[in-house]
């Protein structure tokens, strides 16, 4: 039963040596599988805007300069630890993505077992592992793997009734992804509704949450120039980057983004939704009301955030996607194991062969296309002596990426003119060449004005 022993402190139990070996073997096997499937997809250079922000934060933590935006101080701290071991910024980013993916999968195994039984403990990690959005995050958008890891770890301890530990984990998760705090906070309070726990039992967990959040929050505010500045900058950035109901009202672009949010949240469910009717007929829904309510409290807040407030990339939905994988494990547990294999193959097919005009960003062809454009631009620019004026005509590569690899050049994209990763507002100095990067990544040389 969930939420057992809420009022007691669990005493540590020494695990048998064989159990420890099994956990080590499981961790090593999952890590090897992640490396084998994510590393070949990841480019040898930083992928897009956010990756550059975190690479710059390895040298200097400056949220006002988007190094990185919104801070994420604990993620930056963990990245620096990995980086001190010797890897390049590119390898550091990939290793952090593998670490976040590994933590998510390892916590999902016991959570699925506790909620829906031993078969679900195998099915749920498989559904998450092959989810196209999860593959995307582990390969190129590494920080967002911690949305899944933080959500699953928090849910795991809440489900077991270890609310103090859950509060501590949630506080740490917020330092990796700030939005974890508001979207997972209702789950921390769920024992009030699902188990009728006295509100007094939550005072200690709430105090632990506050104490855990306070150091990294105050540090981020300090580095952001104060609370008012941090709030104003983040609010402006949120409105500028989000075509959503919250930012724009009921506009066409907001409806389109809400549609994509619904699709990206449900893309993994396309592989197992067919199994639900049979699971209900076979009685697998009997006495599961508390489990379903728990998943609903988990799923709804992060889903509403992506649906109504902000969604720019598919992997921003990973906190809610993790809950859908547990729902899928319940449905597929009513079927023979070969149907889980079929569901996994369907997820792989959605990643390899995108639906027309739907969710292409969470697919291998899209990743390969962006990587090819960026690789062509980086190679083309490097062949011309600098300093240069580089004009980007397409969406990719971003000015942030080229400015990172060519800090001596001036990069123009749309209304932005940048130099050494900062926007440049002074007159241009004498330059040796002008390069134009088209939408395919091809670089051509043009006369200077």
pLDDT tens per residue, range 343-353: 999 999 999 98
User: Percent of the chain at pLDDT above 70?
Assistant: 95
DSSP 67: B
Q: Tokens representing 347? A: 């997820």
The DSSP code for 336 is: -
Residues 271 and 285: beta-carbon distance below 8 Å? no
Q: Which of 354, 139, 128 is nearest to 260 (CA)?
A: 354
Token pair listed for 268:
């993994």
Q: How far apart are CA 225 and CA 407, in angstroms?
A: 26
pLDDT of residue 276: 93
Q: Are 372 and 393 in contact (CB under 8 A)?
A: no
- Residue pLDDT, tens place only, 295-352: 999 999 999 999 988 888 899 999 999 999 999 999 999 999 999 999 999 999 999 9
Distance in angstroms (rounded) separating the CA atoms of residues 268 and 309: 22
Q: What one-character-per-residue DSSP string does 188-254 give? A: HTTHHHHT---GGGGHHHHHHHHHHHHHHHHHHHHHTTSHHHHHHHHHHHHHHH--SHHHH-S-HHH
Percent of the chain with pLDDT strictly greater than 90: 65
Report the helix count and the strand count for the chain, using DSSP H and E: 20, 6
Q: Check residue 391 and report its DSSP letter.
A: E
Q: How close are the terminal C-alpha atoms of the chain, in Å?
A: 73
| pTM of this prediction exceeds 0.85 | yes
């Amino acid at each position: 039963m969930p939420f057992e022993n809420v009022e007691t402190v669990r005493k540590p139990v020494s695990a048998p040596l064989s159990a420890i070996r099994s956990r080590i073997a499981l961790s090593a096997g999952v890590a090897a599988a992640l490396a084998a499937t994510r590393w070949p997809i990841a480019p040898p250079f930083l992928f897009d805007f956010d990756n550059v922000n975190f690479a710059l934060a390895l040298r200097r933590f400056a949220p006002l300069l988007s190094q990185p935006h919104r801070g994420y101080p604990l993620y930056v701290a963990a990245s620096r630890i990995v980086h001190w071991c010797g890897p390049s910024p590119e390898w550091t980013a990939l290793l952090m993505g593998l670490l976040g993916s590994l933590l998510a999968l390892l916590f999902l195994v016991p959570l699925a077992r506790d909620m829906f039984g031993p078969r679900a403990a195998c099915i749920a990690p498989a559904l998450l592992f092959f989810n196209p959005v999860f593959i995307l995050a582990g390969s190129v958008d590494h920080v967002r793997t911690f949305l899944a890891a933080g959500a699953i770890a928090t849910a795991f301890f809440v489900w077991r009734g270890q609310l103090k530990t859950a509060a501590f984990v949630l506080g740490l998760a917020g330092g990796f992804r700030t939005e974890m705090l508001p979207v997972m906070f209702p789950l921390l309070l769920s024992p009030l509704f699902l188990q009728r726990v006295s509100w007094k039992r939550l005072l200690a967990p709430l105090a632990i949450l506050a104490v855990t959040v306070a150091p990294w929050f105050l540090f981020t505010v300090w580095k952001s120039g104060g609370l008012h500045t941090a709030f104003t900058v983040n609010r402006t950035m949120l409105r500028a980057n989000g075509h959503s109901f919250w930012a724009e009202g009921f506009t066409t672009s907001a409806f389109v983004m809400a549609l994509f949010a619904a699709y990206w949240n449900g893309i993994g469910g396309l592989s197992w939704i067919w199994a639900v009717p049979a699971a209900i007929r076979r009685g697998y829904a009997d006495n599961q009301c508390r489990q379903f309510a728990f998943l609903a409290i988990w799923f709804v807040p992060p889903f509403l955030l992506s649906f109504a407030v902000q969604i720019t990339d598919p992997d921003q939905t990973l906190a809610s996607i993790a809950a859908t994988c547990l729902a899928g494990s319940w449905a597929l547990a009513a079927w023979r194991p070969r149907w889980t294999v079929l569901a996994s193959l369907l997820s792989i097919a959605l990643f390899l062969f995108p639906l027309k005009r739907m969710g292409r960003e969470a697919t291998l062809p899209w990743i390969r296309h962006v990587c090819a454009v960026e690789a062509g631009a980086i190679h083309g620019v490097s062949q011309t002596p600098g300093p240069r004026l580089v004009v980007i005509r397409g969406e990719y590569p971003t000015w942030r990426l080229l400015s990172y690899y060519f800090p001596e050049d001036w990069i123009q994209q749309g209304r932005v003119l940048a130099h050494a990763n900062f926007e440049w507002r002074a007159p241009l100095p004498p330059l040796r060449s002008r390069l134009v990067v088209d939408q395919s990544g091809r670089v051509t040389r043009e006369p200077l004005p």
